[in-house]
Structure 1
């Protein structure tokens, strides 16, 4: 595959997540940065909009669905997504800094894995792409006269 506009669109969201979490660790003041719950909310919203909404899980399953690599990737990203969700919920409910760190780490790992997969995975063949340049001659037959 190759990097797409979606990969470029996620960069500002991930940069904002890094900025928010780094500011929180640095002890920044502000209505959002000072609290663990505020940071968890920001990371959950930015990760959902910048990662989930711009992502496309369907492209993972194009081509050979029985591939071990696809199964491993889907399992790993599913577990990371679950870790992010649980970490975010615990960070919101209990204002737990460790859960916030899990949320941040899982979100960043999901982004890195997705970007690396786009860089290093061969593109799946498009439907009809393997037919060749003269396919239209077979499909668009002139009418037969008897």
Structure 2
């Protein structure tokens, strides 16, 4: 399929996620990233915008190659990890859960970009 404007937008949002997490790690005193919960909420919001709003909606289309099936399983597992990490952050304010959320979100972004660059969209 190749990369599109949606990939560029998702990449910009992923860059914003990196900036937010880096600001949190450096102890920046900005209102959004001052706390673990605020940082997590920002990462989730940016991830939703980049992954859902700018995502490619043909994963359910047929036919599926083994590579797409593998990608689908990995993406779902990462999505569950991100969801559980978000819940952990909100309940415990754990920095480890925040790191897990950040890593899962970035892995989802990277996987989607690789998939878009190497596959064709189903008609």
Within a 5 Å distance, the mapping from 1:1-146 to structure 2 comes to 1-57=1-57, 59-65=58-64, 67-121=65-119, 123-124=120-121, 126=123
Kindly state the Cα deviation for residue 115 of structure 1 after the two structures are TM-superposed: 0.3
5+ residue gaps, structure 2, are: none
Output the CA distance in 2 between the equivalents of 1:31 and 1:4. Answer: 33
- When the two structures are superposed, what TM-score results if normalisation uses the length of structure 2? 0.92
Kindly state the Cα deviation for residue 125 of structure 1 after the two structures are TM-superposed: 6.0
- When the two structures are superposed, what TM-score results if normalisation uses the length of structure 1? 0.78
Q: Deviations over 1:22-74 (max 9, x none)?
A: 011111112211110010010011111121221123x2343422x22121111
Between structure 1 and structure 2, the one with the greater Rg is 1
What is the aligned residue count?
Answer: 123
Runs of 4+ residues over 4 Å off in structure 1? none
Decide whether aligned partners of structure 1 residues 125 and 85 sit closer, same or farther in structure 2, where only a CA change above 3 A counts: closer
Alignment RMSD (CA, Å): 1.4
CA contact (8 A) 1:62 1:124 kept: no
5+ residue gaps, structure 1, are: 127-146
Task: Name the structure with the higher helix share.
Answer: 2
Which structure is higher in RCO with an 8 Å CA cutoff and minimum separation 6?
2
